[in-house]
Amino acid sequence: MIAKPGVLLIDEAPYMFRGMKKFLSSKNFDIYEVSNFSEAQVLIHSEKIHAVIYSKSKHNPNQPLFDSIVKYDATIPSIVLDPALEYTYPLNTNIPDHVLMQHLGPKEAFAHILDRLISKSFLRKDLRRREVLAEQLRTLQHRLIGKNKADAYKAIMDFTAQELKAQKAICWFYQTSTEANNRDHTKLEKKVLAWNENNTSEIFRVTEKFSVEKVISQNIIVEDEYLYFPVLTHHEDRNLCFYAFQGSKSFNVENQKYFQFLHKEICHIVQVQERMYGVEELSFVDEVTGLYNQRYLHLVLDQEIEKVKRDNSKFSVLFIDIDHFKSVNDKNGHLVGSQVLREIGKILKQNVRSVDYCFRYGGDEFLLVLSDTSTDQSTVVAERIRKQIASTDFVIDGTRVHVTLSIGIACFPEHAKSKKKILQVADEAMYCGKNLTRNIVYVAS
């Protein structure tokens, strides 16, 4: 269980340990000796000590040192060799990890006793550690309720990094159907990049360094200074979330089973979160077009307004109406009309970036939120969409349908400084264009 246990010797009868030191070293124990309590503390904090052996003499010059160590960390097992069997532990004598012996006895038998004590102590410590972790994980799950996906994944990353005492943590998302060199990141990936702006190249190496088959087949990967936690978030799409932690002093064989336990729990939390977001997302999606609906629009606008305040940026709203759409339904029926709406929704999504949002506002109205986009930039996008729709004939069940769009544009904070006002101004701009000529892009003044 422990690669090479460390044993601290406090020896008042050096002749007793001359042969034992050599023997314990040959049995794969690291032997340490100290002259004061401060030195012992350093070794304990560095997790190098797994047991203490105190050879007591008649005059007891080192007993205060041993007593201080036992009081300081009673979880470290100890053996006291006292020919008179007079020593009294300064703590509960019923603790099975502390043993009083009259003499060493056969070396092999003594080494076996020592190994058993260390193993039991480690298992007991590991159990307590897991119980504490389980309670902390329950607290973490409560904290994740109501958080958006990016904030939730970062909270999980920060928690795990703290638990592992890592110097640096990195998170990266990878879809196996996407080429490794593809830099068209999703909104979530862009937010993740923002957490590690100075480490972008390292993040890319995480995704490109390991084959998908290798990642899926292993629980954890330890390489160089990094410990990698791969999480399969969607089995169908084979989406992977990488957590990489650098520089933790706890990356050792002794903690391997604990790493695996922690990784399993993190995987479970991430997968539960993904299922929750999947259910939540369904409530935000329009059934006809597959675009977001009005319920999600207000959350996005709140988020974009906060971003403007924080980063001194901007965003644009495009209010879109299909010209004379009622006649399409009257002439061809609502099933054809619904298919036209779906096709227009596809074209809208094709013409915006992954950081932008497409909504069906209601009826034959659509709305786009273009993040960090000026009026001039959004006008270029609107004109591209208008021209594409105007030049497209939708053929649905043998019926040819041609429509045009009227698009109104408003920019936050140039044209409005509140969520309600930006929607109103964009809507008014759209109707101004509609009243002029239709099939037009009209910018708010």
Q: What is the pLDDT along the chain (445 residues), one digit of tens a residue?
A: 456 788 888 875 556 667 778 888 888 888 888 888 999 899 888 778 888 988 887 777 788 888 888 888 888 888 888 888 888 887 655 566 888 888 878 888 888 888 888 888 777 777 887 888 888 888 888 888 777 777 788 888 888 888 888 877 777 666 544 433 343 434 444 444 444 444 433 333 333 444 445 555 557 777 767 777 877 765 444 466 777 777 766 666 667 778 888 888 888 888 888 777 776 667 788 889 989 898 889 888 988 998 898 889 999 999 999 999 999 999 999 999 999 999 999 999 999 987 789 999 989 999 999 999 999 999 999 999 999 999 999 998 889 999 999 999 999 999 999 999 999 999 999 999 999 999 999 999 8
Q: Check which CATH number belongs to the domain holding 75 and give it.
A: 3.40.50.2300
**Domain assignment of residue 288, yes or no:** no
pLDDT, residue 275, reads: 76
pLDDT, residue 15, reads: 60
Give the residue numbers spanning the domain of 118. Answer: 6-124
DSSP β-ladder status, 405-412 and 315-322: antiparallel
R_g (Cα) of the chain, nearest Å: 33
**Domain assignment of residue 105, yes or no:** yes
Same domain, 19 and 105: yes
**Domain assignment of residue 409, yes or no:** yes
Same domain, 307 and 424: yes
**Domain assignment of residue 129, yes or no:** no
Contact residues for 420 (Cβ-Cβ < 8 A; gap 6+): none
Contact residues for 100 (Cβ-Cβ < 8 A; gap 6+): 79, 80, 82, 85, 87, 89
* CA gap 386, 440 in Å, rounded: 7
The string of DSSP letters for 349-401 reads HHTS-TTSEEEEEETTEEEEEEET--HHHHHHHHHHHHHHHHT--EEETTEEE
* CA gap 342, 359 in Å, rounded: 12
pLDDT, residue 200, reads: 37
Same domain, 149 and 41: no
CB 91 within 8 A of CB 71: yes
Q: Check which CATH number belongs to the domain holding 207 and give it.
A: 3.30.450
* CA gap 187, 169 in Å, rounded: 20
Domain count within the chain: 3
Same domain, 275 and 304: no
pLDDT, residue 73, reads: 85
**Domain assignment of residue 188, yes or no:** yes
**Domain assignment of residue 131, yes or no:** no
Same domain, 186 and 69: no
pTM tops 0.85, yes or no: no
Longest dimension (CA), the chain: 109
Q: Which of 253, 281, 309 is the last residue of a domain?
A: 281
Q: Which of 228, 260, 281 is the last residue of a domain?
A: 281
Same domain, 301 and 439: yes
Same domain, 274 and 348: no
Q: Which of 77, 94, 124 is the last residue of a domain?
A: 124
Same domain, 75 and 28: yes
Same domain, 163 and 61: no
Same domain, 161 and 234: yes
**Domain assignment of residue 134, yes or no:** no
CB atoms within 10 A of CB 120: 13
**Domain assignment of residue 1, yes or no:** no
Same domain, 97 and 182: no
Same domain, 113 and 166: no
The distance in angstroms from the start CA to the end CA of the chain is 73
Contact residues for 273 (Cβ-Cβ < 8 A; gap 6+): 144, 149, 152, 153, 156
